[in-house]
A and B are shown apart, each in its own frame.
Chain A
Amino acid sequence: MSWEWDVIWQYLPRLLEGAWLTLELVLVSGLIGIALAIPLALMRASSHLWVKAFPFIYIYFFRGTPLLVQIFLVYYGASQFEAVRESMLWPVLKQPYWCAIIAFSLNTAAYSAELFRSAIQAIPSGEIEAAEAMGMSKPVQIRRIIMPRAFGIALPAYGNEVILMLKGSALASTITLLDLTGMARTIIARTYTPLEMFLAAGMVYLAISALVIALFRFMEYRFNRYQYYHHTDTPTDLDPQLRDPHIDN
């Protein structure tokens, strides 16, 4: 088997260009996805049947069908309707870049909404009751107690979702975008070195996911600091006047 290292080095800058687009896709659709997921999760956690129904169907559809179908539905599907082709949205919907962003955002919104919902329901009910007892209105509770707490609880699981999104972003190459996978495929069409190029692309993906994992570890450490707090015992010879009755027994 002939193995050509120089091809990898020669085309590495092009691959990194593709990696940049991959990162951009993940970041932009991740942010839009969160913005969509929060109202969906709040609706899903509601106790009214009609409020729950829409997010339930939405989440069921996007989690039960392949991402590839969703991308094709947006990219190819939208052009079936004359009304869409003549509307103001068409300049956006005919670009593969925006179609990928739309499909990824809708997809990740469904998965994150489910994560946020379970996080919201995992908040100890005593904390909600305490907020209630303090006289906070529902919107204030959501803003001050529910959202920050749910964020901390959902953080590790959301890190996994970002990794899945990173892997899913490779599908952008199926609608002609030159992301990391798309770039590798283009280079291979020219040089015919599939193993070398896909290996190099794979290494870049691994590096990105290692970075994402490290970033989320760090964030989790920051936001859930209370879990990492170690109480140091108060010295026994401490002046009794300085003792804190809430900490020491």
Chain B
Amino acid sequence: MDLQGFGHLLISGTWITIQLALSSLLVGLVIGLLGASAKLSKNRLARWLGTGYTTLVRGLPELLLVLTIYFGGSQLLMWIAGFFGYDEYIEIGPFVAGVAALSIAFGAYATEVFRMAMMEIPKGQWESGLACGMSPLRTFFRIILPQVWRLAIPGLGNLFQVLLKDTALVSVVGLNDIMRQSQVAISATKEPFTFFLVAALIYLLLTAATTGFTMFMERMANPAARGHNS
């Protein structure tokens, strides 16, 4: 395949895509953990908020989220900032809008994955942690989270694949990712099929690498099984 010197453009786009995916993953994981804790909390308001968040976001197209945050986000942020006496113009770039939209979408699905995993952990684990004199927060980070993590990795791996593919949507609001850079190359070369096919193959490579990495993480998170096999 002849890329006519546009290879470096695609590589820079790939780098942007990877940065976008990883940033959204990080924020999304935090949202997911918070959401799962809210949904399992004793507080009724927290439960209600968590359920509202997941049902709402899982029913909305990701593209609509991206567009809403990119085109309406600054209006919303300036309105909120107005309460704190800040009246300057706030601009949201495509990257920030992309991270916000994708992590909100990822977080909603991750909430369900984490909630399922947390429900798998026997209550006795909590009780024994507390009985050893750990604070609830320390019990969570030392005892519960590592086990939740192990149970959640396969589900999160699938969600990350979805996230990786959804990054393509952010090109619609002008982020210079793989899709956008292929379009730039196409406008010069007039070869849409070639460049979109190359873009597709890059995404395929990224998702394949993700699968491999998920399997590695599964192994890392489960020392017991690792010791048993070797």
Binding site for B on A (CB under 8 A): 1, 60-61, 64-70, 72-73, 76-81, 163, 166-171, 173-174, 181, 184-185, 188, 194-195, 198-199, 201-202, 205-206, 209-210
Binding site for A on B (CB under 8 A): 56, 58-64, 67-68, 71-72, 75-76, 78-79, 82, 161, 165-169, 171-172, 179, 186, 190-194, 196-197, 199-200, 203-204, 207-208
A205 touches B72 (CB 8 A): no
Complex contacts, B207 vs chain A, CB 8 Å: 64-65
Complex contacts, A78 vs chain B, CB 8 Å: 193
Given contacts A66-B165, A198-B72, contact A205 B61 (CB under 8 A): yes
Instruction: Report Cα–Cα, A67/B165, bound state, in Å.
Output: 8
Instruction: Report Cα–Cα, A64/B179, bound state, in Å.
Output: 15
A79 touches B192 (CB 8 A): yes
| Minimum Cβ distance to chain B for residue A175 (Å) | 11
A195 touches B194 (CB 8 A): no
Given contacts A73-B193, A76-B186, A195-B76, contact A64 B64 (CB under 8 A): no
A80 touches B192 (CB 8 A): yes
| Minimum Cβ distance to chain A for residue B119 (Å) | 20
A-B contact pairs, 16 of them (CB 8 A): A64-B204, A67-B165, A69-B200, A72-B196, A77-B192, A78-B193, A80-B190, A167-B60, A168-B61, A171-B63, A181-B64, A185-B67, A188-B71, A194-B75, A199-B68, A205-B61
A80 touches B191 (CB 8 A): yes
| Minimum Cβ distance to chain B for residue A192 (Å) | 9
Instruction: Report Cα–Cα, A201/B63, bound state, in Å.
Output: 12
Residue of A nearest to B78 (CB): A1
Instruction: Report Cα–Cα, A143/B192, bound state, in Å.
Output: 42
* A60, A73, A167, A181, most chain B CB atoms within 10 A: A167
| Minimum Cβ distance to chain B for residue A194 (Å) | 4
A68 touches B193 (CB 8 A): no
Given contacts A80-B194, A163-B59, A188-B71, contact A68 B64 (CB under 8 A): no
Residue of B nearest to A84 (CB): B193
A68 touches B204 (CB 8 A): no
Complex contacts, A60 vs chain B, CB 8 Å: 204
Instruction: Report Cα–Cα, A68/B164, bound state, in Å.
Output: 12
B203 touches A205 (CB 8 A): no
With beta carbons under 8 angstroms apart, the residue of A73, A198, A205 that contacts B200 is A73
Complex contacts, A68 vs chain B, CB 8 Å: 168-169, 171-172, 179
* B75, B172, B196, most chain A CB atoms within 10 A: B196
Residue of B nearest to A169 (CB): B61
Residue of A nearest to B171 (CB): A68
Given contacts A76-B196, A77-B196, A194-B71, contact A201 B168 (CB under 8 A): no
A173 touches B63 (CB 8 A): yes
Given contacts A64-B207, A68-B168, A76-B192, contact A1 B76 (CB under 8 A): yes
B75 touches A69 (CB 8 A): no
